[in-house]
Amino acid sequence: MKVTERSELRRLPKRGSHDSAVIHEILDAGFLAHVGFCAEGQSFVVPTLYGRMDDRLYLHGSAASRMLKHLDRGVPVCVTVTLVDGLVLARSAFHHSMNYRSVMVFGTARMIADECSKIEALRTISEHLIRGRWNDVRGPSENELKATAVLELEIEEASAKVRTGPPLDDEEDYALPIWAGVLPLELTPKPAVADARLASDLQTPEYVLRYQPGRK
């Protein structure tokens, strides 16, 4: 993947990668992104769901969304996705950290106008969130499509960073009588709660029962 000054890894570059396979793997494991951009001299960072297809990210929201309208002007955008895998508890306050996987994407976005392409992008977002759901639900109506804006963000540049392993203390601190290690963390689904107005004979779909974050 192309690397310029804006995507070059400077801080702890040994933890980083510009490899597309690494970047795609992290993007596919997440579903919540933070979109950063500037509008009229003010910086904004907006959380949103996303979907990925090849080297493109899809973002969606209300057709009245200020963020989507602004990004459609071709302004530079930065999208970040972070997965936290554990708290790293060191012997010193200074060396506390976390184990994580993260991606930073740079590019410009465009609004999808073609109806078929728009529906396909919405399908990509839905299937990225929970595979199998799109085929079960009612598709968007004409009015719903008009009320929804979908952006395609070409991944022009991206970088990934990953930290794994135990705390890295100063050598003299290893003798301190202080517990140190990693507290693993993961996003775990709980049993699904059926809607109160659901017909009594409808069973919970297998893709809901078997859902695990990051397993598409």
What is the DSSP track for 145-189? HHHEEEEEEE--EEEEEEE-SS----GGGGGSS---EEEE----P
Q: Is residue 2 part of a domain?
A: no
Distance CA 183, CA 98 (A): 9
Reported pTM: 0.91
Residues 51, 131 contacting (CB under 8 angstroms): no
Q: Does a structural domain hold residue 145? A: yes
Between CA 115 and CA 153 the distance in angstroms is 17
- Say which DSSP state 13 is in: G
Determine the pLDDT at residue 211.
92
Distance in angstroms (rounded) separating the CA atoms of residues 206 and 55: 30
Tally of structural domains, the chain = 1
For residue 120, give the H/E element and its range.
Answer: helix 115-129
What is the tens place of the pLDDT at every residue in 133-166? Answer: 999 999 999 999 999 999 999 999 999 999 999 9
In a domain, 139, yes or no: yes
CA nearest neighbour of 72 among 81, 63, 85: 63
Q: What are the residues whose beta carbons fall under 8 Å from the beta carbon of 162, sequence distance 6 or more?
A: 15, 16, 17, 22, 26, 100, 101, 102
The pLDDT of residue 5 is: 67
**Residue 33 belongs to domain with CATH number:** 2.30.110.10
Name which of 152, 160, 163 is nearest 3 in CA terms: 160
Would 82 be classed as within a structural domain?
A: yes
Instruction: Please report whether residue 160 resides in a domain.
Output: yes
Alpha carbon distance 132, 187 (integer Å): 20
Residue-wise pLDDT for 25-50, tens only, equals 999 999 999 999 998 889 999 999 99
pLDDT category at 215 given cuts 50, 70, 90 is low
DSSP, collapsed to helix, strand or coil, labels residue 58 as strand
Q: What is the pLDDT of residues 111-142, one digit of tens each?
A: 999 999 999 999 999 999 999 999 999 999 99
CA within 13 Å, CB half, 159? 16
Question: What DSSP designation does 190 have?
Answer: P
Domain assignment present for 121: yes
Residue 109 in any domain: the answer is: yes
126 φ/ψ angles, rounded to the nearest 5 degrees:
-60, -45
pLDDT in tens, 178-205: 999 999 999 999 999 999 999 989 999 9
Q: Distance between CA atoms of 40 and 70, rounded to whole angstroms?
A: 10
The verdict on residue 173 lying in a domain is no
Give which of 46, 165, 58 is closest to 112, Cα–Cα.
58
Domain that residue 97 falls in: 13-168+180-209
